Structure 1
Amino acid sequence: MRWAVLALLVIAEGAVAQERRPSHCIAIANETPGIQYLHKAAWQDPVSEFSVRISYVAHASFLLQTHGGLNAVTDFTGFIGGAALIPDVVTMNHAHSTHWTAHPDPAIPHVLEGWGEFGQGIDHHLDLGEMLIRNVSTDIRSAYGGVEERGNSIFVFEVEGLCIGHLGHLHHVPSDEQFAALGRLDVVMAAVDGGTTMPLPEMISVLRRLKSSVIIPMHWFSDYSLERFLSGIRNDFPVERDGVSEIEVSLRTLPDRPTVVVLEPRYLIELE
């Protein structure tokens, strides 16, 4: 009788858990039909069904929110603004101090470091039901002028059938094996400073190969450095800059061709 009751409890818990829509990250890319538009919405608003909200917080930090209420922050530095938000999961990279913190809030359930022992890297495969988070390791320049193999992580968030990739502090063009491990990214956040990460022509070549439907520039230090990137990529992809810091994206609303969507960084504050 006791085991029967436990079985019923397990079934009941599974019934209310959020299920993740399968993504096509590792499938052969097909053109997405039905392009309409990207939705703009504030970070405190409810997230539409089958959608993900992406808010640009600062530098390389983004807040990803799901319809089921999950909150994930990329390249977490310990500060996302004045909002009393405890993310469910944060990811970090350690090429520079502006991409991680040694003292994340202990209330955060999942803290994913994008590195391991020097040169060893790390592998993540965190299944939160509604969202799967995994990583692909790449190399970075070490603090001593050498190379730290597998010192950076490209984090991939599979949610609502979408594949959302954050390139982190990428220092080189990924290998064929790394591109294959990433799979088809529908949305990608890419560092476009042109210096501390990688030269702009190389980053643009990476984005050409990825062919992501939505390309979000990050890690730009001024409008001048952002414009350098936009000038270099406009011949390949259209550019949208509407002055917003958040978008909602879903499979139904992806652009029908790769599009650069510029978001303005804005720390999170509580709006009354």
Structure 2
Amino acid sequence: MLLRLITALSLLVPIAPKAQAQVQTRQPSHCIALADATPGITYLTLASLPQVAPDTAHLHYIAHASFLIRSHGGLNMVTDFTGFTGTLPMIPDVVTMNKAHGSHFTAAPDPAIPHVLPGWGEFGLGIDHNLDLGEVLVRNVSTDIRSDFSGVEVEGNSIFIFEMAGLCIGHLGHLHHEPDAAQYAAIGRLDVVMAPVDGGYTLDQPSMIRVLKRLKSSIVIPMHWFSDFGLDEFLTGMADDFTVINVEGPSLDVSLDRLPSRPTIMVLRPQYLRSDD
């Protein structure tokens, strides 16, 4: 009840003046077919929030299943928000959350956050989000999760999709099953996808590999992994169809005209956001 009240109140809070000034017209995303482009990803290791080039999305792996997604206009979105992103003072413009475990949400998001998007609604009913901020559109596709109470909670979590800079960027959340045909259609064609690859707490690895090969994204970013051994097992299973690049850092910049011509796994190393030294 408390989280629903906070969420409802957050929807009544206007976008902060900074965010209002930065909202721009969104470059339409295709979500259908990938660009025929050459590799050219820019890799970054951050000490603070960067300036983002036009027609570009900045991705920073914070921890576990939490990413910062930052736009050219300075909109900051954090996935699977737990209430802590690091020592860098920041109030995100948008946070998304999933509830399979407490490491994917907070019951007390800062009320200064303009848009708090839980990936669940009333038990078994799911929730629908279609948040248009001009420069960025945030939407979700509900999925089922395992539940301690009934075995399965229908539409208990969400895949969140960020359409920005002409890109479709998907976060699979705490995925517990392969999407059905209707869910695949609602997701569309993702250029970039963050995928949980632990192989147990979420979807088993053979099933996750099938999902990712069907999505055919240009860039896959593994998340929700707990050891290099488990990560390497996933990478081995994907190596026949995907190039693997170890970025050796937490972040990268992506643009539509610089997507890899061959599907590529970009391995990021999580790092909390931190203030300049």
Give the TM-score normalised by structure 1: 0.91
CA shift, 1:17, in A, is 4.5
The aligned amino acid for 2:27 is R
- Indicate the residue corresponding to 1:68 in structure 2: 73
What is the distance in 1 between the residues matched to 2:237 and 2:145?
Answer: 24
Question: Does 2:175 correspond to 1:170?
Answer: yes
Conserved 8 A contact 1:193-1:226 = yes
- Among 37, 42, 50, which residue is 1:39 paired with? 42
1:23 corresponds in structure 2 to 29
> Are 2:158 and 1:131 equivalent residues in the alignment?
no
Give me the CA root mean square deviation: 1.4
Matched with 1:212 is: 217
2-side partners of 1:107 and 1:63: how far apart? 17
Cα deviation code 1:86-131 (max 9, x no counterpart): 1000000000000000000111000000000000000000001100
**2:123 aligned residue (118, 123, 129):** 118
* 1:212-251 to 2 correspondences below 5 Å: 212-251=217-256
Question: Alpha-carbon deviation of 1:15?
Answer: 10
The alignment partner of 2:43 has SS state of: coil
Give, as a single letter, the amino acid of the residue that structure 2 aligns with 1:178.
Answer: Q
- Asked if structure 1 preserves the Cα contact closer than 8 Å seen for 2:159 and 2:173, the reply is yes
Identity %: 60
Alignment of 1:250-269 (within 5 A): 250-269=255-274
Distance 1:100 1:232, change over 3 A: same
Separation in 2 of the partners of 1:201 and 1:162? 27
Structure 1 unmatched ranges of 5 or more: 1-13
Count of residues in correspondence between the two structures: 256
Gaps of 5+ in 2: 1-19
Mapped partners of 2:215, 2:247: distance in 1: 24
Question: Residue 33 of structure 1: CA displacement?
Answer: 2.4
Taking the aligned partners of 1:145 and 1:196, their CA distance within structure 2 comes to: 17
Equivalent AA in structure 1 for residue 218 of structure 2: S
CA distance in 2, matches of 1:137, 1:92: 12
Contact 2:22 2:73 in 1 (8 A): no
Partner of 2:184: 179
2:157 paired residue number: 152
On the 8 A contact 1:36/1:252 being kept in 2, the answer is no
SS in 2 for 1:64: strand
Decide whether the 8 Å contact of 2:198 with 2:224 is kept in 1: yes
Task: Using the TM superposition, name which of 235-244 and 199-208 deviates more.
Answer: 235-244
Task: State the partner residue of 2:4.
Answer: none
Partner of residue 11, structure 1: none
* 2:43/2:252 contact within 8 Å kept: yes
Compute the displacement of 1:242 (Å): 2.5
Letter in 1 for 2:198: D
Q: Specify the code of the residue in structure 1 equivalent to 2:35.
A: T
* Structure 1: distance between partners of 2:204 and 2:36: 34
Alignment equivalent of 2:113, drawn from 94, 97, 108: 108
Equivalent position amino acid for 2:123 in 1: F
Q: Which moved more, 1:175-184 or 1:221-230?
A: 221-230
Higher Cα radius of gyration? 1
CA distance in 1, matches of 2:22, 2:65: 34
